[in-house]
Amino acid sequence: MTFSAYYFCFVGILKREMYRFVQQRSRFLSSLVRPLLWLAVFAAGFRSALGIAIIPPYETYISYEVYIAPGLIGIILLFNGMQSSLSMVYDREMGSMRVLLTSPISRAYLLACKLLASSLVSLFQVYAFVAIARLFDIHPPLLGYVYLLPAALLPALMLSALGLFLSSVIRQLENFAGVMNFIVFPMFFLSSALYPLWKMRESNEIIYQICALNPFTHGVELIRFALYGQFNTQAFVVCATTTVVFMALAIIGYDPKHGLLKRKAGGN
């Protein structure tokens, strides 16, 4: 295979994800409405309970709305990663990926293209959210919007890789609801997206340990630090390592010799 073949393959997958994103306006609106409702309603309800909190990146007191903004960016990335897994289940059975997976191009490269394309789509939603969030008096430094790009891209890759792995083990679209209930919501609520980790520790040590081990927590912290010009080394290492692990599991899952296709053939 020539370089141009790999290039056109990536461009084709990226264009398809972009076209799907543009055509599915309800998906775009729902990705914004969900975190904005959290920001407007949830923050208002818990402001009196939590008040203001001191946040490690910049060692100052901020409002609860400002604190949870990175967590709401994380939920955009999380739900988009799950949406990509849902579309992958369909595409694998009846869509374009069914044809692409039988092409001479390696499956690992195809999955990497799908991973990067869905992550780039997530970034459009993230920047749309932070633009609207300025109406809620959330004004990070201007350089924070620049640092946000790589900081949000890595968690997007991590969560999309998780979605790809899940799509390799989900055989029917009907099972996606179970995934949402048993994976997505626990990942979100058992993280630092809504509450500082020190607040979790004050409440329950076991919950704190779960939150500290949750890779989504580190994705949120990477974004939270980057918005204010800081780099969280631990969060970066955890996100990068988790991305590699999930991607490797997805590649194995789509390997016809070891993964889903072999299991389906055996079932037949």
Determine the residue type at 215.
P
The predicted-structure confidence for 2-22, as pLDDT tens digits, reads as follows 778 788 888 888 888 887 777
User: How far separated are the first and last CA of the chain, in Å rounded?
Assistant: 33
Ranges 126-140, 161-175, 230-244, most confident: 230-244
- E strand or H helix that includes residue 117: helix 107-133
Do residues 163 and 61 lie in contact, with contact meaning Cβ atoms separated by under 8 Å?
Answer: no
CA geometry: angle 44, 46, 48, nearest 5 deg: 90
Per the model's pLDDT, the better-predicted residue between 129 and 177 turns out to be 129
The predicted-structure confidence for 21-80, as pLDDT tens digits, reads as follows 777 666 667 767 778 777 777 666 555 445 445 455 544 556 677 778 888 899 889 988
Three-state SS at 24 = coil
Residue 268: the pLDDT is 42
Report how far apart, in Å, the C-alpha atoms of 65 and of each of 48, 71, 254 are. 12, 10, 41
Q: What is the pTM of this model?
A: 0.84
Please tell me the least confidently modeled range out of 26-40, 63-77, 147-161, 230-244: 26-40
- E strand or H helix that includes residue 75: helix 64-93
In this prediction, residue 233 has a pLDDT band, given cuts at 50, 70 and 90, of very high
Do residues 235 and 144 lie in contact, with contact meaning Cβ atoms separated by under 8 Å?
Answer: no
Phi, psi of 267 (to 5 degrees): -70, -25
Dihedral class, residue 137 (left if φ above 0, else alpha if ψ from -120 to 50, else beta): left
The predicted-structure confidence for 45-61, as pLDDT tens digits, reads as follows 555 445 445 455 544 55
